[in-house]
A and B are shown apart, each in its own frame.
Chain A
Amino acid sequence: MKADPAGVLTGSHYLDGDVACGEGAMAAGCRFVAGYPITPSTEVVERIARRFPTLGGTFIQMEDELASMAAVVGAAWTGTKTMTVTSGPGFSLMMENIGLAAMMETPCVVVNVQRGGPSTGLPTMVGQGDVMQARWGSHGDYEVIALCPQSPQEAFDLTIDAFNLAEIYRLPVMFLMDECVGHMTEKVVIPEADAIEVEPRRLTDKSPEEFGPYQINGGQIPEFARAGDGYRFHTTGLTHDERGYPVMNAECHDASVRRLVGKIRDNADSIVRFEEEGMDDAEVVVVSFGITARVARLAVEEARSRGIRVGFLRLVVIWPFPEKRIRELAGSVAAFVVPEINLGQIALEVERVAAGQAVTWPVNHAGGAVHDPDAITEIIVKAAS
């Protein structure tokens, strides 16, 4: 369906990534946000708090991030599109109820504007150290989807995609921004509402007697009923059967967890998104994401100008990881160069998937600033020789 025009601020704007993300959420139909203030993410909810009362939306500042995430999961069961916004320390607190959202198969969006960690780290300065936390942060096996914008325009566009993916796959979608993209101000073009496709919450057609909240009807994703519509359903964070009733045995657990994981892994080809340049003759491929991708592009241009055959792969969706494409490239290139503002997270994935067919060269920076492009160029040169 098309976006509700009330939420869409059509026009050309000059916005930072945080504000653009908030506008993307409102355009996507988000109408409930619970959050707790944390730098460098707070501008997202400040924007929403200002506009929501005119859109039929509710923003509530909760007492902490545990509560914020719990409220977001609760509100999602009323059929409302919901989101919370945080940065590393708050993201750590949210992991408990991110797991609940995964287990209850609750559509919602979690924005993390990354700063330097661990712990309180660098509150006002950039980091990309939450990549693995976004993937593995809550206990047990589950899958997430995570998107990484490289600009305020993408902060707007991809936030809408994040909401749509949450609806399609019924899970918490991670929106992994970083402080640079969040605080960088650029032109953002917001289209007309009828040019924005939004995925509605699809409610079951079944009667309450026929309905089970985790019946999958031969597919992988259950149908949704919202609280208050007479279905009188039950849901739980415990391992459960298709009625949503707890079942404490290995067989049910195995089937449930495999389905939670399978609904993303089996659909990875439809979810994975990346952009690539210069792959035709590439001997070396630079793999990057978020703000680092923009820095790395300068290094790729410099290396090309020096005659090095280098390709560029920018990850838009980082989870699920583009395994198929990396595996293909590993068969034809000599090396991957992976700059990222952490001490090696996506590089581990590249190395795992390349499985020895191509060498992986991490280019790490612990946080607090973006890379010096020359540092990346230098590794590209080494990797090519």
Chain B
Amino acid sequence: MTVATKSTTASQELEHPSAPLLRMERIPHVWCPSCGIGTVVKCYATALERSGVDLDKVSVVSGIGCSGRVAGYLKLDGFHTTHGRALPFATGLKLGRPELLVTVISGDGDLVGIGGNHFIHAARRNIDLLVILINNFIYGMTGGQNAPTTPQQARSSTMPYGNFETPFSLPHLAASSGASYVARWTCLHIRRLTWSIEEAIHKRGFRFIEVIAPCPTLYARLNKLGTGLDAMRFYHDTAVIRNDADTRELDISFQSEITCGKFVDEERPTFLDLMHNHYSDQLGDRYVPTPPEGGMLHEQ
């Protein structure tokens, strides 16, 4: 889309700086004003451009929900899948064509609510997936229901007296399940988030980045937290960066301090490494790996 503003003349049309990576014909997007998801999309697009990777080899997979719509706005091979199943779908893509850089971008309800089982197993396998989880503490698309990430005391439409369940601490879940890269940022930390995504693009294995994002329409309204700008002020005042923090100490309480940073960054054999090494040992010359470009049967 070309955006003409009052400060430009008719002949000067501004293009979105990430336009080559966006499906501009689909703009305006579905997200609410001051929702945090667009910020994450921009950081991801910037990180991809800076990374120098071949964009033709990048696939983005999303599940269902507000963040599930991310795959639909990026001009990459994009898959908008079923609720909770982005990770196993992405696992199939990666194993079918191992040369792909497969990114999963989806929400908290999708990836660790309905998709929680897939999340721990994908991390356990340390399969080569870059996972960006946008955590807005609530089910936004369906109208503000309680999520497995909703802090205790926070209100949601299905916890009208405040949430009494214990939420997941996602970096701890990812790290203890076997992820080889774990970080958390907020939508205020756009440079650190972009840098972190770029760093993770160049790493291998299961890479997990949680992004705390405002949901002004539901989470903030139900909890009287003000506007998206108020959320930015809150992140500014209460987020602290503690790289290498113990992931057992990253719980988020209602309007509490949010610990950000990179908590895990260690090279471990990936699913494909382990598979190749094991079959090579066991089968020797009889082992035929799936070619990087995939196991497709070509016309002869």
Contacts and interface: CB of A to CB of B under 8 A. Distances in A.
A144 B208 CA distance: 37
B78 to A, nearest CB: 4
Nearest to A74: B92
A245 B26 contact: yes
B89 A71 contact: yes
A112 interface: no
B290 interface: yes
Nearest to B97: A78
B273 to A, nearest CB: 14
Contacts of A29: 297
Contacts of B77: 77, 227-228, 231-234
Interface stretch (A11-19, A52-60, A298-306, A331-339): A52-60
B117 interface: yes
B279 interface: yes
A67 B296 contact: no
B117 A64 contact: yes
Contact of A229 (B56, B71, B84, B85): B56
A171 B272 CA distance: 29
Given A54-B283, A71-B91, A200 B298 contact: yes
Contacts of B117: 63-64, 67
A123 B294 CA distance: 36
A72 B279 CA distance: 22
Given A56-B295, A198-B297, A233-B78, A228 B88 contact: no
Given A56-B291, A232-B76, A79 B296 contact: yes
Nearest to A199: B297
A70 B115 CA distance: 12
A366 B91 CA distance: 38
Contacts of B79: 74, 77, 227, 234-236
A6 to B, nearest CB: 8
A66 B81 CA distance: 12
A72 B287 CA distance: 22
Interface string B71-100: 110011111111011011111110111011
Interface string A174-215: 000000000000000000000000101100000000000000
A101 to B, nearest CB: 10
B283 to A, nearest CB: 6
A237 B81 contact: yes
A200 B298 CA distance: 7
Given A66-B85, A97-B85, A227 B100 contact: yes
A82 interface: yes
A229 B100 CA distance: 10
A61 B65 CA distance: 27
Given A64-B117, A78-B96, A58 B80 contact: no
A54 B287 contact: yes
A53 B89 contact: no
B6 interface: no
A345 to B, nearest CB: 27
B57 A228 contact: yes
Given A227-B97, A227-B100, A228-B100, A79 B294 contact: yes
Which interface residue of A34, A231, A234, A246 has the most chain B CB atoms within 10 A? A234
A242 interface: no
A153 B133 CA distance: 48
A113 B75 CA distance: 41
B297 A53 contact: no
B85 A78 contact: no
B297 A200 contact: yes
Interface in B133-171: none
A67 B96 contact: no
B203 interface: no
B85 A236 contact: no
Given A67-B85, A79-B296, A235 B80 contact: yes
A147 to B, nearest CB: 21
Contacts of B93: 74-75, 77-78, 227
A2 B300 contact: yes
A35 B95 CA distance: 14
Interface in B108-123: 117-118, 121
A369 interface: no
A80 interface: yes
Nearest to B114: A66
Contacts of B72: 234, 236, 245-246
Which interface residue of A67, A73, A235 has the most chain B CB atoms within 10 A? A67
A287 B117 CA distance: 43
B286 interface: yes
A307 interface: no
Nearest to B297: A29
A75 B91 CA distance: 8
A227 B96 CA distance: 10
B60 to A, nearest CB: 9
Contacts of B249: none
A60 B95 contact: yes
A72 B85 CA distance: 12
B295 A80 contact: yes
B96 A32 contact: yes
Interface string A225-269: 011111111111110000001100000000000000000000000
Contacts of A246: 72, 80
A72 B26 contact: no
Which interface residue of A55, A232, A245 has the most chain B CB atoms within 10 A? A232
Contacts of A230: 56
Given A234-B72, A236-B72, 5 more contacts: A6-B288, A54-B288, A57-B290, A70-B89, A232-B56
Interface of B: 23, 26, 55-57, 59, 61, 71-72, 75-82, 84-85, 87-93, 95-97, 99-100, 117-118, 121, 275, 279, 283, 286-291, 293-300
Instruction: List the 9 closest A-B pairs by CB distance, nearest first.
Output: A74-B92, A78-B96, A31-B295, A75-B96, A75-B92, A71-B92, A79-B296, A67-B88, A236-B80
15 contacts: A32-B92, A32-B96, A34-B88, A53-B288, A57-B295, A58-B275, A58-B290, A62-B88, A75-B92, A78-B100, A100-B81, A227-B100, A228-B294, A235-B78, A236-B71
